[in-house]
Amino acid sequence: MAPPDPYFSHWADHAATRTIAANADAEVITVAAGITPSGVVHVGNFREIITVDLVARALRAQGKKVRFIYSWDDFDVFRKVPVGMPQQDMLAANLRKSIADVPDPYGELDSYASHNIAALEHSIEPLGIDCEFIRQSRRYRAGDYAEGIRQALQHSAQIKAILDQYRREPLPADWLPIAGFDPETGRDDLKFSWDPNEDEGWIVHYSVASTGRVGKIDLREGGDVKLLWRVDWPMRWAQERVMFEPGGKDHSSEGGSYDTAKQIVDQVYGGSAPQYVAYDFVSIKGMGGKISSSKGNVVTVADCLRIYEPKLLRWLFASTRPNTEFAISFDLDVLKIYEDYDRAVALAHEPEEGGRKDKKRAVARRTLELADPAGVRVEPGTTPPFQPSFRPLSMILQIYDGDIDRARAHYEDSGELRSDEERALFDARARCVWNWIDDFAPAEFCYRIREQPVVRELEDAPKQALARLVAALEQAAKPLREADLVPHMKGLFEGLELGPKEFFPLIYDLLIDREKGPKLTTLVTVMGAERALPLLAASL
C-alpha cells in the first residue's frame, strides 16, 4: 500500500482516510447530513453541510466515488412559531402538524417547509456544494421505510432497553418507537398499538387522544407514521449505507443520539455506525449564545454571502476544526478576517524552500483548495490574481459613492487590474465591501464626499496653507497622481505656525464633513482635482 500523500493533511483528509479504512470494499462512499427545516435555516446549521462537503471533497481527492445525501427532516412536528415570521396566528393554528403540511406564511410555495428548504438550497448555489437532497416526508409517505419501521417495532423492547440506559425514568411498558399524524386533523395526538402477528406485523393501529377515534395504517402503503428521531437516524444509516456523517455536540455526549444510534443500528438493523465528527456551534459576534431560528436571532448563508465572498466563507469553516466554536463577525473584525484570508492566499502561493515554513505553505494550499467552490489547487511559486485589500477598497468605494464601475476603473488606471479574472474577483469583493459599509460599518468608519461646498471662516495661517493646497491642485498635471501631490503637502506649512495636526482636520471637514478620514493624499488624488477644488476653494 502506497504511503499517504503528505499534502492531504487537513482534518477533512483525516476523516476521509478513516472512512475509507472502515469501508475498504465500498465502491461508493455515502456521506450524509440533514436538518429539520422548522425555521429559517441559519449559518449555524450550515456547519453540518459544509463539514460533509469538505470530507466528500477529501474522499474524491483520494480517488473515491462519493454519494452525498442531504436529508430534509420535514416530517418532524412543528412545535414552536419562530419569532419574526409573518402570519403568526396562522402558524400557531398549525402547531403539532408535520412541517411539510404547514402552509407557507409567505404564500409563495406549497408549504412552510418548502419555503425554508428553497431558501437554503438557493443560497448555497455559489458555494459549489454538490449533494442529493431528500425530503423525508415524501420517503415516509411513499412507504420507502416500511421495512425499517417494522424492524423497529419487532425490536421495540430492545430499543427501549437501549434508551432506558440513559434515562432517569424508564419509558412506559407499552412504548413503541413510532409517531405519526392524524389523517383527518394532521396533528400528532395519536397513540399506537401493534400486533406482530397481524398480517406479519405490517399493520399499525392508532387512536386519536383528543377524540378516541381509531384507525389503522398498512406500513407498506406509507402514510402518516414515522420512526422517532433516535430510531429514525440509525434506520436511515442502514437503509442508505451511510459511511460518514457528523453531528452537533448536543448529539455527541454520552447517551446522546449518536451514542444510542450506534447501538440501535447494530442490534436492530445489523449495520454499523458511520464515521463521525462532532462539530461545535457557530455564533454571531455580538449576538451571544447559540443561533436559534425559534428566537428569531438568525443569520443565514445568504446574509453571510452579502459580506463574505463564497471562497472566503468556505475558508472560514475549512480553516477551523469542526470541534472548535467560532463566531461569524459583521463588525470591524470583518477587516481582519479579509486580511487573514489574503495573507493565507499569499502564503499558499509562495515557492517551497525546503525549510520549516513549507509545511505551513502546504496547509494553506490544501485549505484554500478545499475552500475554493471549484476546487482549484494552488501551485507553489505562482502569482495569485490581484484583489485589493478590504480597507483601501472600502476607502475608494466611499470616495466614489459606491460606484463599482468607477472604482474598478481606478484600479485599471493604476495598472493593478489586468485580466478578466481579476475584474470578476474585484467586482465580487467590491460588492461585499459596499454591502458591509452600507449595512454594518460603524459610523466613524463611514464618510461621503460633500455634494456642496461649505464656507469656513479661517485665520491667516490656515488660510495661507489652504491657498497653497488649492494652487498645487490647480497647477498639477492631469490626471492627478499621489506621488506628485506628496511633495506639495510637505511644503504647505513653510513659514507658518501651523502643522498637519491643526490643518488636516480642516481639509477633512471641507471634503467629507469629518475631522479625520483616509490618508489625505489618497483621498484627494482619488477624488481628483476637479471634484476637490470647488470644496476647498470656497473658504478662501
My answer on whether 159 and 243 are in the same domain is no
Spatial CB neighbours of 147, under 8 Å, sequence gap ≥ 6 = none
22 in a structural domain: yes
Shared-domain flag, residues 46 and 157: no
Determine, yes or no, domain membership for 383: no
Contact at 8 Å (CB) between 417 and 408?
yes
Give me the CATH number covering residue 483.
1.10.10.350
* Per-residue buried b or exposed e for 214-236, using 16+ beta carbons within 10 Å of the residue's own CB: eeebebeebbbbbbeebbbbbbb
The H helix count followed by the E strand count for the chain is 21, 12
Residues 160 and 304 reside in one and the same domain: no
For residue 4, is it within any domain?
no
Backbone angles phi, psi at 31, to 5 degrees: -120, 150
If asked whether residues 244 and 309 sit together in one domain, one would say no
Helix 482-490 with 520-527: angle, nearest 10 deg: 130
| Residues 262 and 400 both lie in one domain | no
Q: What is the pLDDT of residue 3?
A: 58
Sheet bearing 28-35, strands edge to edge: 28-35, 65-72, 132-135
Q: Nearest CA to 45 among 236, 298, 255, 254?
A: 298
Q: Is residue 75 part of a domain?
A: yes
Q: Tell whether 154 and 242 lie within a shared domain.
A: no
Quote the domain boundaries for residue 436.
Answer: 390-445
**Contact (CB, 8 A) for 32 and 232:** no
Predicted local confidence at residue 1, as pLDDT: 47
The domain tally of the chain equals: 5
Q: Is the dihedral of CA 368, 371, 377, 382 positive or negative?
A: negative
* Residue 471, phi then psi, degrees to nearest 5: -60, -40
Same domain for 134 and 69: yes
Domain boundary among 308, 339, 371: 371
On whether the CB atoms of residues 268 and 155 are closer than 8 A, the answer is: yes
Residue that is last in its domain, among 202, 226, 250: 226
Give the pLDDT score at 414: 87
410-464 residue pLDDT tens:
999 889 999 999 999 999 999 999 999 999 999 889 999 999 999 999 999 999 9
Burial class (CB in 10 A: 0-12, 13-18, 19+), 176: buried
Which pLDDT belongs to residue 194?
97
For residue 179, the cross-strand partners are: 226
What 105-113 contacts at long range (C-beta under 8 Å, 24+ apart), as own/partner pairs, is 111/74, 112/78, 113/37, 113/72, 113/74, 113/137
Domain end residue (candidates: 192, 211, 226):
226
Q: At what angle do helices 257-267 and 229-240 cross, to 10 degrees?
A: 50
Q: Could you tell me if 341 and 192 lie in one domain?
A: no
**pLDDT recorded at residue 2:** 53
Q: Is the peptide bond before 479 cis (omega within 30 degrees of 0)?
A: yes
The shares of helix, strand and coil residues in the chain, as percent rounded to the nearest 5, are 50, 10, 40
Of 18, 45, 37, the C-alpha closest to 291 is: 45
**Sign of the four-CA dihedral 172, 174, 180, 186:** negative
8 Å CB contact between 129 and 51: no
Within this chain, do residues 24 and 102 fall inside the same structural domain, yes or no? yes
User: What does the alpha-carbon distance between residue 17 and residue 21 come to, in Å, rounded to a whole number?
Assistant: 6
Same domain, yes or no: 217 and 244: no
33 DSSP β-pair partners: 70
Q: How far apart are CA 375 and CA 16, in angstroms?
A: 16
Closest by CA to 42, choosing from 123, 142, 140, is 123
Provide the pairing of β-strand 225-227 with 178-180.
antiparallel
- Helix intervals (H) in 73-131: 88-93, 112-123
- Does residue 385 belong to any structural domain of this protein? no
Pick the closest to residue 92 from 112, 70, 120, 72 (CA basis): 112
pLDDT, residue 286, reads 60
Whether residue 2 lies inside any domain: the answer is: no
Let me know if residue 379 belongs to a domain.
no
Rounded to an integer, what distance in angstroms lies between the CA atom of residue 258 and that of residue 149? 19
Mean pLDDT in consecutive groups of 10 residues from the start of the chain, 540 residues: 77 97 96 94 93 98 97 97 94 97 97 96 96 97 98 98 95 96 95 96 96 95 96 97 93 87 97 95 71 64 96 98 93 96 98 93 97 96 96 94 95 93 97 95 91 94 94 88 86 90 95 92 91 95
Do 22 and 88 belong together in one domain?
yes
DSSP 323-338: TS-EEE--STHHHHHH
| Whether residue 131 is found in the same domain as residue 251 | yes
- Confirm whether 411 is domain-assigned: yes
Predicted local distance difference test score (pLDDT) of residue 377: 95
Give the model confidence (pLDDT) of 492-511 as tens digits: 999 898 999 999 999 999 99
Q: Is 292 exposed, middle or buried (0-12, 13-18, 19+ CB in 10 A)?
A: middle
